[in-house]
Amino acid sequence: MKYDKKNIIYSAVLIVVIMSFWFYRNNKATEKQPLGNLVVVNGETMGTTYTIKYLDEKGRNFKSEIDAILINFSQCLSTYIPDSEISTFNNKTNAIYFKQPYFYPVLKRSREVFEASEGAFDPTVMPLVRFWGFGPDKNEKMSKKIEIDSLVRFVGFQFLSFDELGLKKLKKNVQIDFNAIAQGYGVDVIGDFLKSKNIQNMMVEIGGEVLCKGKNEEGKIWSIGIENPQFEEKGGSEVQAIVQMDNKALATSGNYRKFYVKDGKKYAHTIDPKTGYPVQHSLLSATVFAPDAMTADAYATAMMVIGKEKAIELAKKQNLEIFLVFDENGQTQTYVSESIKNAFVK
């Protein structure tokens, strides 16, 4: 009986050890398992491309739903669609009632950034965008001060009145352009859609504006490349920097893609709403980090209008993190907010 008792005790201990080892191995295996199947969706929208990656245990592909959302989104906010809501407001009427749920949120955020940037970000800049050849008309015109002065009179967010139901002009000939905020907002809209499908880990990118949530397929936070604004002109690396994104959004604005040269002079697409002229300063690109892509997109544009020094001041005032690329005596330099420096990959 004594021998049998020892065996019973030994067997019991052995079972406990085996079970403990099994639980340990099972837990380690669970840790190493991916957070879901990686789904990648690509497409075109708003005159650019999009790339969406997310993890889903069921491996569901939402491309058809995403494309349908983006079609409705463009039908609301795209100035390149003649019968869109925004085109109707710009060209055919002085007031509209909103058909889609996208118009009011982008107007509301635009007003906030307009006020915070002291008018540097202003969607009513559309008449000037068209004059300089960066609108849907694409007419490249030469600078004529009298014409510009006459157009500036119709630029000002204070000339709009809106609520959750509709929008009206307080001054005739006012037109709006959301190209400096719409892509970022589109990123947020798709992010909200994926969240409604219980997707917790995602990377949504439209035209370079990015939202990252959770982790990637390797169980790490997402790493995003920031484009080198001088790559096409001077070569070198196509990526200026790589930053790890932990549940936030980024947007980059710059004049290195949308510009034209006429009579030896470069005309950039960023228009100063106050002067009516394309901006001329040392800032090559501005990347803004924010909780949502719409905010990041709008502030990135505002910073390209005001230049490096004022951009740094604005970022500190609004508690935003930024990454600036600028030219200093012919040398490319960068500025990054202290609070986000550790997120950049060396």
pLDDT value of residue 142: 52
pLDDT band at 60; cut points 50, 70, 90:
very high
Question: Over the stretch 9-27, which tens digit does the pLDDT of each residue have?
Answer: 333 333 333 333 333 344 3
Which class would CATH give 37-343? Answer: alpha beta
Torsional sign, CA 7, 13, 18, 19 = positive
What secondary structure, in 3-state letters, does 290-315 show?
Answer: ECCHHHHHHHHHHHHHHCHHHHHHHH
Q: What does the pLDDT average to over 213-230?
A: 93
pLDDT value of residue 150: 84
pLDDT band at 132; cut points 50, 70, 90:
confident
pLDDT band at 141; cut points 50, 70, 90:
low
Residue 144 makes CB contacts below 8 A (sequence gap 6+) with none
pLDDT band at 138; cut points 50, 70, 90:
low
Q: What does the pLDDT average to over 175-197?
A: 97
* CA 38 – CA 219 distance, rounded (Å): 11
List the chain domain ranges: 1-32, 37-343
**Whole-Å CA distances, 17 to 25, 27, 29:** 12, 15, 18
pLDDT band at 263; cut points 50, 70, 90:
very low
Question: Over the stretch 187-209, which tens digit does the pLDDT of each residue have?
Answer: 999 999 999 999 999 999 999 99
Q: What does the pLDDT average to over 297-305?
A: 96
pLDDT value of residue 328: 87
Nearest to 293 by CA among 29, 26, 50: 50
The average confidence (pLDDT) of the chain is 85
Q: What percent of the chain has pLDDT over 70?
A: 80
* CA 100 – CA 115 distance, rounded (Å): 25
Q: How many CB atoms lie within 10 A of CB 37?
A: 14
Bigger pLDDT: 280 vs 8: 280
Of 60-64, 118-122, 277-281, the range with the lowest mean pLDDT is 277-281
Question: Over the stretch 323-346, which tens digit does the pLDDT of each residue have?
Answer: 999 988 888 899 999 999 999 986
- Judged against a pLDDT cut of 90, whether residue 147 lies above it is answered with no
Q: Which token pair is 15?
A: 């079972």
- Judged against a pLDDT cut of 90, whether residue 136 lies above it is answered with no
Bigger pLDDT: 321 vs 6: 321
Inter-residue long-range contacts of 163-171, CB under 8 Å, 24+ positions, other chains counted: 163/104, 164/98, 164/104, 165/97, 165/98, 166/95, 166/96, 166/97, 166/98, 167/89, 167/95, 167/96, 167/98, 167/103, 167/107, 168/94, 168/95, 168/96, 169/89, 169/94, 169/95
pLDDT band at 129; cut points 50, 70, 90:
confident
Q: What does the pLDDT average to over 82-91?
A: 96
pLDDT band at 2; cut points 50, 70, 90:
very low
Question: Over the stretch 229-258, which tens digit does the pLDDT of each residue have?
Answer: 877 666 667 899 999 998 999 999 986 554
Q: Which token pair is 327?
A: 């030219």
